[in-house]
Amino acid sequence: MLRHLSATHVPFRLKRPFRISRGTKTVADTIFVEVRDGENIGRGESVPYARYNETIESVLAQIQAVRADIEAGADRQRLIEIMSPGAARNAIDCALWDLEAKQTGVSVVDRIGWEKLKPVDTALTISLDTPENMAAAAQQLRDVPLLKVKVDASDPIAALRAVRKVAPNPRMIVDPNESWSIEQLGSWQRQLVDLRVDLLEQPLPAENDADLEGFESLIPLAADESGHVTDNLGQLALRYDYVNIKLDKTGGLTTALEMLEAAEREGLGLMMGCMVSSSLSIAPALIIAQRCTFVDLDGPTLLSEDRENGVVENGGTMAPPQPGFWG
For residues 245 and 30, what is the distance between their CA atoms, to the nearest angstrom? 19
The catalytic residue among 102, 118, 148, 246 is 246
15 catalytic? Reply is no
- Among residues 317, 320, 305, 314, which one has the least CA distance to residue 30? 305
Query: Distance (Å, rounded) from C-alpha 62 to C-alpha 87?
Result: 9
Reply yes or no on whether 249 is catalytic: no
d(CA 121, CA 123): 7
The one catalytic residue in 102, 150, 165, 249 is: 150
- 186 Cβ contact list (under 8 Å, min separation 6): 215
- Determine the Cα–Cα distance for residues 83 and 90; give it in Å rounded to an integer: 10
**What CA–CA distances, in Å, run from 265 to 186, 200, 222, 253, 258?**
29, 22, 16, 19, 11
Q: Tell me the chain's radius of gyration from C-alpha atoms.
A: 19
Give catalytic residues, as residue numbers: 150, 246
